[in-house]
Amino acid sequence: MRAHGADRTIYLTFDDGPLNGTSNILDVLEAEQIPAAMFMVGMHAQANAANRSLVQRAKQLPLVTLGNHSYSHANNRYQHYYADTEGVVADMMRANAVLGLKPVVHARLPGRDVFRLPSMSKNDTSLGLAQEGREEPDYEFVAASGFYLYGWDHEWVHKDSGEPVQSVDHLVSEIDHLFGYGRFVKPRKLILLMHDEMFQDSFDGKAKLTNLITALKLRHYTFGAIQSYDD
C-alpha cells in the first residue's frame, strides 16, 4: 500500500529521555531533517551533565519540539500518582522548571494514552472502569494548568531491556495497515510512540531509526511537527 503524500502524516514522538539512545535520535533527526517531539522526564534531565547537555541540544534543533513527560514518571506507580491530581500538576510543573518549558507546553502523561487539546479530548481506553474509579484523574485540570496533552495511535514496542520488538519492516507494514483502516484519533494523522532507550548503540539504534525514516519516505508519508497535529 502506498500512502498519498500530505494527506497521510506521521508524528514521530520519543518518550523518557534523556537516556542512552537520545544522542543517536538527535543525530538522525538532524541528519534527516525530520520533525519530532521528544517528551522528556525531569529527573532524567537532572541525572548528570551529559543528560543536561542533551536537553540543551534538543532545544537548539529547530525541528525538534521538547515536551514534558513529568518529573518523576510517576515512579512507575501510576494508580497512586493519578489519585492525586494536584500532585500530578506539581510534578509536571517541576519538570517544566527543569526542562525550561513555559506554558502552553506540549506534554504526555506517564503511562496514560490521554489527549486534551483545544479541538479534542480522549481518555485512555485501555483502563477498566474499576481502575479509572480508583484513580479519578482530573485531566481537564492538568490541561488547564498549561499543558496540551498527547497520547498516541501506535507504538514501536520494546522489551524490558529497551530492545525494539518489531523489525523496521514489520513496523512499517503495521503502519500501512493502520492507514488502510484509518482508525486514528485525528483523521489521516498517526502519532507513533517510541522510547529513547530503544535507540542505544547496542541495538544498532541509529541505523534502525534511519531505516524507519527511509522506509516511510519511500512510501511517501509526510512527517509532521506536533504543533500542527491539532490544526
Residue 182 has a pLDDT of: 83
Three-class SS of residue 99? helix
Distance, in Å, from the CA atom of 131 to the CA atom of 55, rounded to the nearest integer, reads 34
Residue 1 has a pLDDT of: 39
Angle subtended by helix axes 205-218 and 22-32, to nearest 10: 30
- Beta-bridge partner residues of 14: 38, 194
The enclosing domain of 44 has a CATH number of 3.20.20.370
Is 66 within 8 Å of 38 (Cβ atoms)? yes
Is 168 within 8 Å of 207 (Cβ atoms)? no
Residue 3 has a pLDDT of: 44
Local structure of residue 186 (DSSP, 8 states):
B
Distance, in Å, from the CA atom of 139 to the CA atom of 124, rounded to the nearest integer, reads 11
At 38-67, the pLDDT tens digits run: 999 999 999 999 999 999 999 999 999 999
Number of residues in the chain = 231
Distance, in Å, from the CA atom of 153 to the CA atom of 136, rounded to the nearest integer, reads 23
Is 36 within 8 Å of 64 (Cβ atoms)? yes
Residue 133 has a pLDDT of: 58
Residue 128 has a pLDDT of: 67
Q: Over its length of 231 residues, how does the chain's per-residue pLDDT go in tens digits?
A: 344 455 899 999 999 999 999 999 999 999 999 999 999 999 999 999 999 999 999 999 999 999 999 999 999 899 899 989 999 999 999 999 999 999 999 999 999 999 999 999 999 888 766 565 566 678 999 999 999 999 999 999 999 999 999 999 999 999 999 999 888 999 999 999 999 999 999 999 999 999 999 999 999 999 999 999 999
Residue 157 cell numbers, joined:
514496542
Distance, in Å, from the CA atom of 100 to the CA atom of 112, rounded to the nearest integer, reads 23
Residue 131 has a pLDDT of: 62
CB-based burial of residue 138 (10 Å sphere; 0-12 exposed, 13-18 middle, 19+ buried)?
middle
**18 preceded by cis ω (within 30°)?**
yes
Residue 50 cell numbers, joined:
551529559
CA 100 remoteness from chain centre: 18
Which alpha helices (DSSP H) does 15-167 contain, by range?
A: 22-32, 42-45, 49-60, 78-82, 85-99, 129-135, 139-144
Instruction: State the total domains in the chain.
Output: 1
Distance, in Å, from the CA atom of 61 to the CA atom of 25, rounded to the nearest integer, reads 12
At 79-94, the pLDDT tens digits run: 899 989 999 999 999 9
**Domain with 90 in it:** 5-228
The closest of 44, 51, 57 to 16, measured between CA atoms, is 44
